[in-house]
């Protein structure tokens, strides 16, 4: 079950010709795929395109009706290889993943696909995770498009434009026998807007048709001599065909032609930001009526030489707004202009930031510098963000003490089953008296590198936690290294790149596999080892079985991570056992975010139906809490926080548990396992008690009342209540 | 074309930025705003950077609403080109789900004094480093409130979290109400409410929170406190951390008000603040102690008497009297006496198993637990304690000789270790559990003969000797010595580390006396002692002067 259900939105996918369709960018792309007669879709989830996969998963009925094949690929490499179906068959295929991490994983298949070329349209929809909110290293997909020679569409952030780009992408791919990448930036994926829908189209050929009529073309297979011919063909046939198509269809736009003798060239994805900057400076309006010519590159690769030269002709200077580095397009434009002997001055990263996200503020500053130099008359207003920071009118004038605004990085959710794992690991280190090198992986568990756990030294990629510790394997060392991997990364590639590798090379590491039943960090998608029954997929394949299958002998599965003491003991054993080879601990408990989504409605329903339900939550006694916050330092749960000390004699804040507590039990287990303090208690609220409950409660009440009266009588001699 | 800038002429979208933490419903709030805008015929765009940010991290959602022109505009675009980023200095409305996020919106230039209506919830969701501190790591919320005022054209501030909780809803609904109530958007209240109804989830609760937020928007925002006056004479307990002002926590404000009221009673009728068996002690407080310290002393009398007996309160008063005698400001704020009254009582009522058992079985405690869990009247509630008694804690409570013998017994340690390795859970609401705790609390008369009691009394007197000695020449230093009791907190290993730090601080005191900056230096060292759990910062602060004698108190 994915984090968000799109069952409601999916109904919109049935919208027919002329209907107004409103929704997120991702949903619009899905609709565009169906309108384009796509025959098959695959992909691997990851922000910002997770929802695209989730929508398709929820839309399986519609897909089946249309004869569209959809799969949740095991990895981006799998997804990319899937496009092989478009090599010989006129099938339109689309895959999607997060870039650039996905492109990295998929690059082998993408290179082979691009070499041989395609018959049916092949579209790679990449969600560009760049800038604020990104969770990965900052790189550009552009490099992948260039290196394998795939065309790169970067449509302006507008729902209609994105939908058009999907359809144009397929056509461009077919016209040039080349796979096409459609780049959607982070904010565009979550952009809400409206477009006019068309009817969904059943693919003219379905995958069934293809299977039943197998074909092959020897000259499309990547093996010499064909591979040498492919390279030639790319340059001599496919590139010119693509350029011809882009020009003919007018995929790139020129706005405000001839309004001035300078111009601006911009990536489609940055167009809205540029227009906003121009509005702020007073040379464009909300409807894009610019007073400076703008060339919008909705296709950023290949660059169409003639269009560039046409646009620059007769201009004194041109500013290129290209986000990210290296400055691939700027280099390209310089080569084009130089070769053609153009006198135009090309500006770009000399005026705009070399690296980092092109926010409205960044583009406004760079554009202002450019216009002030060449055409100051069009700058009719000066937004406050251009003022120096020491000017009181600047939005950045210091109005708040930096010390009181603390960073708030993401962390593990309330009740997360991974929290007790890291608490247990810390306790195991305490018990063995040794600290270890911890090789981390991609996933929520990577949050353990921060406070309060501070565990983890490197992260080399999804599923590469074990491999990241491969070199740190020595028979002479007095301890072993620890590697972490999530179930998502494990099935993505970790089983072979990590576990198999460790067995083969007799690595002595302790490998912790965090098995929370979902690919949780990407939005709770099912994986092979998921515990839920799935109509579409085969689940419940235990990780332990897979690990043993590749030759690990020492494997322990702990089925309840909240038992911190037990987990700590397993870690201690794994860290101290004499047995050779990797020691694998599979720590299982369901992702709490998904669990709560599943359990909450069930519980509400049961209470309503009059069934006995016990709701648990934790609490801290302010009387016994001495305000040392040791509990917070071993847990870091968002629901475990501090509040003013209600005791007038004490001054330091006490620990407290918020209403958001889901009663997972980590506080109590930590209080036990770390011998913390006696302040933690669990409250069990009983709904719809049975007669037995009531009887017991009456007996208890009587006895307790009897005993307390003496206690209270004594206290009343000394205390007064005001 | 040479049209004047349409932006500066006001042809621009309404821009709204929402700063929230992942999981707080900022996305839902943004969706509601878009729904209201669309329904009114506005071009409405909403973007966010969700992804990893949703896991409790700070997240920004951004909405632009552009009025649909009467006739199709002539232009290259048929729809307005809307931005995906909030632009510093150009945001009309900022909604912050929490006070520090409001500060962040000012810091990032989203909320500015020339343009922005800032709708901020005044509740605090403490950041990780505020929570991790051994002592008090909270930032000055007053500074955040000042920033919210300084960084906005109009500030709408209230505890929207509380309003939402009272309506059993979520903060996004209350903030949506405040947005409607602010009148900053050209839409009717009913349109906002329709958006909530259309979303179809928890509608009634959301509408109740919406209404509460709507009304709150009409009330003036809380005003920051002025700089604290330096040492107001005779104003009761002196704040521990000078310069930290936190006016916006209603619980704290109520508590401060309660203490002020108490202080007045303490001055006029001290006997009213203690029970019948402590009247002699109250009379002694009234007769022999500075007026300003009375309230704290009476607190201490009650605490020590409940902890042990009235004789123990007498011992308490005798101890504080030593410092009262040397208090240079006895007629004024009597800070030395007040702090001595506080810290001597806290140390004398150290947390041992007998005391913890007594605290757990008090009637008001069980009632407090029910309130916290929001139990309905009469609803069945069970309370289970998570206890982990250590060998040392058990032997400490036993009579000195028995305790010492068992503490040395490896067999005893083994048996206790085996039983408690994974801790025990006691049902305080059950017959067996309650009786167990009740019996443990009944051990009170044995306490004075216990191993730990003897040790603590010796340590307390040694500490006070130091303070009294220092007071002769440096009352400030004496007060800071008294305050070092703060590092003695926690249980088990935490308490052990606290004792080590305390030992180091006391050793340092000996080297400080006579220095003009002695008090300030001790404050610096104590702050370091509270900076982490294992004393690393303290050792660093002490520098190479001290060859670390790891000593347990």
Q: Do B56 and A413 touch (CB under 8 A)?
A: yes
Window 300-339 of A: residues touching B by CB (8 A cutoff) are none
Q: Do B136 and A188 touch (CB under 8 A)?
A: no
In this structure, are B125 and B65 located in the same domain? yes
In this structure, are B262 and B377 located in the same domain? no
> Residues, chain A, total?
722
Q: Do B131 and A642 touch (CB under 8 A)?
A: yes
Window 153-212 of A: residues touching B by CB (8 A cutoff) are 157-158, 160, 186-188, 190-193
In this structure, are B473 and B438 located in the same domain? no
Classify residue B173: in a domain, yes or no.
Answer: yes
Strand partners, A320: A265
* Strand ranges for B334-430 from DSSP E: 380-387, 424-427
Q: Do B75 and A285 touch (CB under 8 A)?
A: yes
Average pLDDT of the segment spanning A95-122 = 97
| A429, A481 Cβ separation under 8 angstroms | no
DSSP class per residue in A603-670: HHHHHHTT--EEEEEEEE-TTT--S--HHHHTT--TTEEEE--SSTT--SPEEEE-TT----SHHHHH
Question: Residue B255: which of A646, A687, A719 has the nearest Cβ?
Answer: A646
| pLDDT bucket at A721, cuts 50 / 70 / 90 | confident
> pLDDT of B314-357, one tens digit each?
999 999 999 999 999 999 999 999 999 999 999 999 999 999 99
Question: Residue A404: which of B143, B262, B278 has the nearest Cβ?
Answer: B143
Helix (H) or strand (E) holding A557: strand A554-558
* A3-17, A405-419, A621-635, B270-284, range with greatest mean pLDDT: B270-284
In this structure, are B359 and B339 located in the same domain? no
For an interface test with B, which of A154, A420, A614, A653 has the most B Cβ atoms less than 10 Å from its Cβ?
Answer: A653
Task: Please count the other Cβ atoms lying within 10 Å of the Cβ belonging to residue A618.
Answer: 24
Q: How far is A614 from chain B (nearest CA, A)?
A: 9
CA angle A168, A170, A176 (to 5 degrees): 95
More confident residue, B496 or A467: A467
| pLDDT bucket at A722, cuts 50 / 70 / 90 | low
Q: What is the pLDDT of residue A340?
A: 97
In this structure, are B303 and B437 located in the same domain? no
Separation between Cα atoms, residue B33 and residue B18, nearest integer Å: 11
Classify residue B8: in a domain, yes or no.
Answer: no
The reply to whether CATH 3.40.50.970 applies to domain A13-200+215-248 is yes
B42: which chain A residues are within 8 Å (Cβ-Cβ)? none
Window 9-68 of A: residues touching B by CB (8 A cutoff) are 22, 47-48
Q: What is the pLDDT of residue B133?
A: 87
For an interface test with B, which of A410, A486, A522, A662 has the most B Cβ atoms less than 10 Å from its Cβ?
Answer: A410
In this structure, are B208 and B173 located in the same domain? yes
Q: Is the pLDDT of residue A585 over 90?
A: yes
Q: Do A385 and B438 touch (CB under 8 A)?
A: no
Q: What is the pLDDT of residue B553?
A: 36
In this structure, are B412 and B430 located in the same domain? yes
Q: How far is A4 from chain B (nearest CA, A)?
A: 12
Window 465-494 of A: residues touching B by CB (8 A cutoff) are none
Q: Do B493 and A632 touch (CB under 8 A)?
A: no
Count structural domains, chain B: 4
Separation between Cα atoms, residue A577 and residue A178, nearest integer Å: 55
Q: How far is B233 from chain A (nearest CA, A)?
A: 20
| pLDDT bucket at A48, cuts 50 / 70 / 90 | confident
In this structure, are B206 and B296 located in the same domain? no
Separation between Cα atoms, residue B106 and residue B129, nearest integer Å: 21
Domain boundary among B295, B326, B349: B349
The reply to whether CATH 1.10.10.10 applies to domain A418-594 is no
B66: which chain A residues are within 8 Å (Cβ-Cβ)? 286
pLDDT mean across residues, chain B: 89
In this structure, are B138 and B199 located in the same domain? yes
Closest of B295, B303, B339, B292 to residue B320, by C-alpha? B339
Q: CB under 8 Å to B415, separation ≥6 — which residues?
A: none
CA angle A647, A650, A652 (to 5 degrees): 110
| pLDDT bucket at B240, cuts 50 / 70 / 90 | very low
Q: Do A282 and B249 touch (CB under 8 A)?
A: no
| pLDDT bucket at A1, cuts 50 / 70 / 90 | low
For an interface test with B, which of A254, A662, A677 has the most B Cβ atoms less than 10 Å from its Cβ?
Answer: A677
Alpha-helical regions (H) of B373-450: 391-397, 400-407, 410-420, 431-441
For an interface test with A, which of B43, B51, B168, B308 has the most A Cβ atoms less than 10 Å from its Cβ?
Answer: B51
**Domain at A612-715: CATH architecture:** 2-Layer Sandwich (3.30)
Q: CB under 8 Å to B429, separation ≥6 — which residues?
A: A700, A704, B366, B381, B382, B383
Q: Is the peptide bond before A217 cis (omega within 30 degrees of 0)?
A: no
> pLDDT of B76-109, one tens digit each?
788 899 999 999 999 999 999 999 999 999 999 9
> pLDDT of B421-436, one tens digit each?
778 899 999 999 999 9
pLDDT mean across residues, chain A: 95
Q: CB under 8 Å to B405, separation ≥6 — which residues?
A: none
Question: Residue A286: which of B56, B66, B369 has the nearest Cβ?
Answer: B66
Phi (first) and psi of residue B20, to 5 degrees: -145, 175
Q: What is the pLDDT of residue A47?
A: 83
Q: What is the pLDDT of residue B234?
A: 40
Average pLDDT of the segment spanning A668-691 = 91
Q: Is the pLDDT of residue A273 over 90?
A: yes
Q: CB under 8 Å to A489, separation ≥6 — which residues?
A: A441, A442, A443, A462, A463, A464, A465
Beta strand A151-153 with A299-301: parallel, antiparallel or unpaired?
Answer: antiparallel
For chain B, give the percent of residues with pLDDT over 90: 68
For chain A, give the percent of residues with pLDDT over 70: 99
Q: Do A719 and B11 touch (CB under 8 A)?
A: no
Separation between Cα atoms, residue A108 and residue A552, nearest integer Å: 29
Beta strand A345-347 with A317-321: parallel, antiparallel or unpaired?
Answer: parallel
Question: Residue B80: which of A286, A630, A712 has the nearest Cβ?
Answer: A286
Question: Residue A719: which of B240, B306, B375 has the nearest Cβ?
Answer: B306
Strand partners, B64: B15, B45
**Domain at A252-386: CATH architecture:** 3-Layer(aba) Sandwich (3.40)
Q: What is the DSSP letter of A288?
A: -
Question: Residue B134: which of A291, A628, A644 has the nearest Cβ?
Answer: A628
| Residue ranges of domains in chain A | 13-200+215-248, 252-386, 418-594, 612-715
Window 384-423 of A: residues touching B by CB (8 A cutoff) are 384-385, 393-396, 399-413
Classify residue B9: in a domain, yes or no.
Answer: no
* Strand ranges for A291-417 from DSSP E: 294-297, 299-301, 317-321, 345-347
| A342, A349 Cβ separation under 8 angstroms | no
More confident residue, A259 or B241: A259
Q: Which two tokens stand for residue B368?
A: 């407090």
Q: What is the pLDDT of residue B551?
A: 42
Q: How far is A187 from chain B (nearest CA, A)?
A: 6
Q: Which two tokens stand for residue A73?
A: 């690929």
| B366, B429 Cβ separation under 8 angstroms | yes
Q: Is A514 helix (H, G, I), strand (E, B) or coil?
A: strand
**ipTM of the complex as predicted:** 0.94
Q: Do A722 and B273 touch (CB under 8 A)?
A: yes
In this structure, are B428 and B344 located in the same domain? no
> pLDDT of A307-352, one tens digit each?
999 999 999 999 999 999 999 999 999 999 999 999 999 999 999 9
Strand partners, A196: A20
Q: What is the pLDDT of residue B1?
A: 43
> pLDDT of A111-141, one tens digit each?
999 999 999 999 999 999 998 878 899 999 9
Q: Do B100 and A689 touch (CB under 8 A)?
A: no
Containing domain of residue B240, as a range? Answer: 234-349
> pLDDT of B382-431, one tens digit each?
999 998 877 777 888 888 888 888 888 888 888 877 777 778 899 999 99
Q: What is the pLDDT of residue B401?
A: 83
Q: Is the pLDDT of residue A17 over 50?
A: yes
Classify residue B271: in a domain, yes or no.
Answer: yes
| pLDDT bucket at B545, cuts 50 / 70 / 90 | low
Q: What is the pLDDT of residue B5?
A: 60
Q: Which residue has the tokens 């405040």?
A: B178
Q: What is the pLDDT of residue A388?
A: 96
Q: What is the pLDDT of residue B228?
A: 59
We report the CATH number of the domain holding residue B188 as 3.40.920.10
Domain boundary among B414, B447, B480: B447
Nearest residue of chain A to residue B104 (CA atoms): A405
Q: Is the pLDDT of residue B247 over 60?
A: no
| pLDDT bucket at A615, cuts 50 / 70 / 90 | very high
Task: Please count the other Cβ atoms lying within 10 Å of the Cβ belonging to residue B523.
Answer: 16
For an interface test with B, which of A670, A704, A708, A722 has the most B Cβ atoms less than 10 Å from its Cβ?
Answer: A704
Average pLDDT of the segment spanning B528-538 = 87
* Strand ranges for A202-344 from DSSP E: 253-255, 262-267, 294-297, 299-301, 317-321
Q: How far is B228 from chain A (nearest CA, A)?
A: 18
Q: Is the pLDDT of residue B239 over 50?
A: no
Q: Which two tokens stand for residue B299?
A: 């607190």
Domain boundary among B298, B326, B349: B349
Q: Do A408 and B126 touch (CB under 8 A)?
A: no
Nearest residue of chain B to residue A658 (CA atoms): B372
Counting one residue from A and one from B, how many pairs have CB atoms under 8 Å apart? Answer: 441
Q: Do A404 and B492 touch (CB under 8 A)?
A: no
Q: CB under 8 Å to B277, separation ≥6 — which residues?
A: A717, A718, B305, B310
- Asked if the domains at A13-200+215-248 and A418-594 fall in one CATH topology, the answer is yes
In this structure, are B460 and B440 located in the same domain? no
């Amino acid at each position: 079950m994915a984090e968000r259900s799109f069952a409601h939105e999916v109904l919109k996918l049935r919208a027919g010709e002329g209907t107004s369709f409103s929704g997120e960018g991702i949903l619009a792309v899905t609709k565009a795929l169906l309108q384009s007669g796509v025959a098959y879709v695959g992909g691997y989830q990851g922000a910002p395109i997770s929802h695209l996969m989730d929508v398709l998963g929820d839309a399986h009925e519609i897909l089946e009706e249309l004869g569209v094949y959809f799969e949740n690929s095991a990895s981006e490499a799998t997804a990319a290889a899937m496009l092989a179906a478009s090599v010989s068959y006129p099938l339109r295929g689309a895959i999607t993943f997060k870039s650039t991490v996905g492109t990295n994983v998929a690059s082998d298949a993408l290179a082979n696909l691009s070499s041989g070329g395609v018959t049916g349209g092949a579209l790679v929809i990449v969600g560009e995770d760049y800038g604020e909110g990104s969770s990965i290293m900052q790189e550009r997909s552009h490099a992948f498009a260039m290196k394998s020679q795939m065309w790169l569409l970067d449509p302006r952030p507008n729902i209609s434009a994105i939908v058009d780009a999907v359809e144009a992408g397929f056509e461009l791919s077919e016209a040039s026998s080349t796979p096409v990448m459609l780049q959607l930036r982070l904010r565009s994926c979550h952009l809400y807007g409206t477009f006019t829908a068309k009817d969904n189209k059943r693919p003219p050929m379905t995958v069934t048709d293809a299977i039943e009529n197998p074909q092959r073309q020897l000259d499309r297979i990547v093996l010499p001599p064909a591979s040498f011919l492919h390279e030639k063909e790319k340059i001599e046939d496919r590139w010119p065909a693509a350029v011809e198509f882009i020009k003919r269809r007018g995929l790139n736009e020129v706005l405000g032609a001839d309004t001035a003798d300078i111009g601006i060239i911009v990536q489609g994805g940055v167009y809205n930001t540029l227009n906003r900057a121009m509005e702020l400076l007073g040379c464009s309006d909300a409807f894009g009526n610019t007073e400076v010519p703008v060339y919008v590159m909705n296709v950023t690769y290949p660059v169409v030489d003639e269009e560039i030269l046409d646009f620059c002709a007769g201009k004194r200077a041109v500013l290129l707004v290209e986000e990210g580095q290296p400055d691939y397009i700027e280099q390209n434009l310089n080569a084009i202009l130089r070769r053609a002997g153009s006198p135009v001055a090309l500006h770009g990263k000399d005026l705009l930031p070399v690296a980092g996200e092109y926010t409205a503020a960044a583009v406004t500053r760079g554009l202002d510098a450019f216009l002030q130099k060449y055409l100051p008359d069009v700058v009719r207003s000066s937004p406050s963000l251009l003022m120096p920071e020491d000017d009181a009118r600047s939005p950045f004038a210091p109005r708040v003490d930096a010390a009181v605004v603390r960073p708030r990085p993401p962390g593990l959710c309330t009740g997360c089953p991974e929290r007790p794992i890291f608490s247990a690991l810390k306790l195991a280190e305490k018990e063995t008296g040794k600290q270890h090198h911890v090789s981390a992986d991609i996933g929520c568990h990577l949050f353990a590198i921060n406070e309060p756990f501070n565990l983890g030294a490197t992260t080399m990629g999804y599923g590469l936690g074990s491999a990241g510790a491969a070199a740190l394997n020595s028979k002479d060392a007095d301890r072993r290294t620890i590697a972490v991997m999530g179930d998502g990364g494990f099935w993505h590639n970790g089983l072979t790149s990590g576990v198999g590798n460790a067995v083969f090379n007799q690595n002595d590491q302790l490998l912790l596999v965090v098995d929370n039943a979902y690919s949780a960090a990407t939005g709770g998608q099912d994986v092979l080892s998921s515990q839920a029954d799935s109509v579409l997929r085969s689940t419940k394949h235990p990780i332990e079985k897979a690990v043993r299958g590749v030759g690990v002998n020492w494997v322990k599965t702990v089925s309840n991570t909240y038992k911190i003491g037990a987990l700590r003991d397993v870690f201690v054993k794994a860290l101290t056992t004499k047995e050779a080879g990797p020691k694998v601990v599979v720590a299982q408990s369901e992702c709490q975010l998904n669990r709560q989504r599943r359990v909450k409605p069930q519980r509400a329903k049961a209470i309503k139906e009059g069934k006995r339900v016990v709701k648990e939550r934790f609490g801290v006694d302010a009387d016994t809490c001495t305000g040392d916050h040791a509990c917070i330092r071993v847990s870091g749960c968002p629901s475990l926080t501090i509040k003013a000390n209600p005791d007038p004699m004490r001054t330091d804040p006490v620990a407290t548990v918020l209403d958001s507590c889901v009663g997972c039990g980590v506080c109590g287990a930590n209080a036990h396992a770390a011998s913390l303090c006696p302040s933690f208690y669990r409250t069990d609220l009983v709904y719809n008690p049975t007669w037995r409950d009531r009887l017991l409660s009456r007996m208890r009440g009587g006895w307790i009342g009897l005993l307390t009266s003496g206690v209270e009588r004594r206290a009343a001699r000394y205390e007064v209540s005001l | 074309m040479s049209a004047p800038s349409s932006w500066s002429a006001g042809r621009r979208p309404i821009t709204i930025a929402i700063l929230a933490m992942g999981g707080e419903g900022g996305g839902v709030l943004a969706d509601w705003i878009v729904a209201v805008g669309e329904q009114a015929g506005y071009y409405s765009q909403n973007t966010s950077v969700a992804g990893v940010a949703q896991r409790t991290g700070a997240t920004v959602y951004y909405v632009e609403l552009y009025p649909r022109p009467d006739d199709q505009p002539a232009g290259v675009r048929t729809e307005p080109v809307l931005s995906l980023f909030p632009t510093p200095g150009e945001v009309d409305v900022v909604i912050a789900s929490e006070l520090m996020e409001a500060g962040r919106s000012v810091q990032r230039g989203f909320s500015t004094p020339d343009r922005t209506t800032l709708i901020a919830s005044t509740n605090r969701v403490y950041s990780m480093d505020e929570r991790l501190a051994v002592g008090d790591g909270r930032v000055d919320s007053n500074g955040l409130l000042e920033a919210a005022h300084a960084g906005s054209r109009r500030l709408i501030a209230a505890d929207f979290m509380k309003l939402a909780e009272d309506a059993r809803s979520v903060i996004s609904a209350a903030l949506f109400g405040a947005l409607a109530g602010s009148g900053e958007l050209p839409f009717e209240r009913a349109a906002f409410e329709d958006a909530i109804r259309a979303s179809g989830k928890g509608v009634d609760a959301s509408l109740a929170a919406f209404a509460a937020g709507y009304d709150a928007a009409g009330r003036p925002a809380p005003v920051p406190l002025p700089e604290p006056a330096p040492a107001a004479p005779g104003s009761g307990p002196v704040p521990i951390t000078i310069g930290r002002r936190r006016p916006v926590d209603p619980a704290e404000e109520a508590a401060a008000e309660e203490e002020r009221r108490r202080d007045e009673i303490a001055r006029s009728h001290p006997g009213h603040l203690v029970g019948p068996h402590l009247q002699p002690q109250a009379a002694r407080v009234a007769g022999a102690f500075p007026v300003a310290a009375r309230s704290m002393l009476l607190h201490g009398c009650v605490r020590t008497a409940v902890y042990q007996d009235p004789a123990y309160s007498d011992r308490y008063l005798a101890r504080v009297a030593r410092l009262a005698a040397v208090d240079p400001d006895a007629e004024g704020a009597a800070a030395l006496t007040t702090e001595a009254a506080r810290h001597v009582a806290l140390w004398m009522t150290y947390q041992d198993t007998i005391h913890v058992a007594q605290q757990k079985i008090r009637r008001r405690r069980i009632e407090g637990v029910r309130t916290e869990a929001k139990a309905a009247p009469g609803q069945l509630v069970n309370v289970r304690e998570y206890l982990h008694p250590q060998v040392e804690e058990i032997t400490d409570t036993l009579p000195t000789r028995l305790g010492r013998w068992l503490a040395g017994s490896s067999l005893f340690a083994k048996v206790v270790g085996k039983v408690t390795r994974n801790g025990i859970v006691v049902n305080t609401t059950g017959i067996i559990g309650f009786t167990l705790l009740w019996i443990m609390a009944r051990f009170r008369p044995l306490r004075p003969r216990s191993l730990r009691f003897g040790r603590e009394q010796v340590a307390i007197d040694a500490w006070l000797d130091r303070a009294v000695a220092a007071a002769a020449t440096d009352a400030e230093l004496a007060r800071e010595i008294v305050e070092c009791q703060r590092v003695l907190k926690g249980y088990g290993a935490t308490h052990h580390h606290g004792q080590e730090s305390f030992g180091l601080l006391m050793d340092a005191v000996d080297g400080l006396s006579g220095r003009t900056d002695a008090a300030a230096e001790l404050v610096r060292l104590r702050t370091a002692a509270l900076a982490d759990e294992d004393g690393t910062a303290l050792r660093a602060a002490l520098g190479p002067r001290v060859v670390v004698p790891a000593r347990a108190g």
